[in-house]
Chains A and B, each alone.
Chain A
Amino acid sequence: TQLLEQSPQFLSIQEGENLTVYCNSSSVFSSLQWYRQEPGEGPVLLVTVVTGGEVKKLKRLTFQFGDARKDSSLHITAAQPGDTGLYLCAGAAGGGADGLTFGKGTHLIIQP
């Protein structure tokens, strides 16, 4: 069984600060997705990383896939209250269409 360990579980910081969320596994993934979820809604896909060492940027969010494709990180620069939410990482095991393995999520609160 593949596992994704996500940390920290909870994070509350002030507006303007930087933060990093980590997603780690002992298993190799063919791709890794990051989602953001608001209360009462379904997860929304932010980014997919596929290649080891890949870095993708989405405005103030930077996503990195580890060289060995076992871990990933999400870095937010100058966090804004609108960044508040639940961030989920999810890994795909192979090239087919099996379900994703999800981390337990990081609850992020950005205080004004």
Chain B
Amino acid sequence: DAGITQSPRHKVTETGTPVTLRCHQTENHRYMYWYRQDPGHGLRLIHYSYGVKDTDKGEVSDGYSVSRSKTEDFLLTLESATSSQTSVYFCAISESWAGRNEQFFGPGTRLTVL
């Protein structure tokens, strides 16, 4: 299994509070991703990173920011959490080659915004 951990695994917070989720990898993969998974929508890309300090927006980036100061860590921040951001968040890593872009996922963080 790919060495990917996410913390915390569960979090309950209140509307308007800032929240930071952490993804840590031990695989030294270049690319890292944040997705959210919601019933009826499947997995949707929030942000991704193609190297240290290099990030880009995904399909559902509004209300989220990311940072990657080290290869192994990718942080997702909700500056002011809203109830619509209640979801399960997954981090993924990839070492894309020959167009394959195989991604390996962490165990997820279940976030509830009250």
Q: List the interface of chain A (C-beta within 8 A of B).
A: 1, 30-31, 33, 35, 40-45, 48, 50, 88, 90, 92, 94-100, 102-105
B8: CB under 8 A from chain A?
no
Bound state CA distance, A100 and B30, in angstroms?
16
Task: Tell which of B59, B98, B101, B102 has the most Cβ of chain A within 10 Å.
Answer: B101
Q: With a CB–CB cut-off of 8 A, which chain B residues contact A42?
A: 4, 90, 92, 105-108
User: Is there a chain A Cβ closer than 8 Å to B70's Cβ?
Assistant: no
- In the bound complex, CA of A1 to CA of B47 (Å): 16
Q: Which residue of A lies closest to B29 (CB)?
A: A97
Query: Judging by beta carbons under 8 Å apart, are A95 and B99 in contact?
Result: yes
Q: A43 contacts B94, CB within 8 Å?
A: no
Q: How many interface residues does chain B have, given as a range?
A: 20 to 34
B residues within 8 A CB of A102?
35, 42-44
Name B72-101 residues within 8 Å CB distance of A: 90, 92, 94, 96, 98-101
Query: In the bound complex, what is the Cα–Cα distance between A88 and B103 (angstroms)?
Result: 13
Query: Max chain B CB contacts within 10 Å: which of A30, A43, A92, A97?
Result: A97
Bound: A43/B91 CA distance, A: 10
Q: A42-B90, A88-B43, A92-B99 are in contact. Are A99 and B48 (CB under 8 A)?
A: yes
Check A43/B99 contact, CB under 8 A, given A97-B30, A97-B31, A98-B48.
no
Contact A92 B100 (CB under 8 A): yes
Is B104 positioned at the interface, with any CB of A under 8 Å from its CB? yes
Within 8 A of A (CB), among B25-40: 30-31, 33, 35, 40
B50 interface residue per 8 A CB criterion: yes
Q: B90–A45 contact, CB under 8 A?
A: no
On whether the beta carbons of B98 and A97 are closer than 8 Å, the reply is no
Contact of A100 among B40, B41, B103 (CB under 8 A): B103
Look across to chain B and name the residue whose beta carbon is closest to the beta carbon of A49.
Answer: B100
Q: Does B45 contact A (CB under 8 A)?
A: yes
Bound: A98/B102 CA distance, A: 11
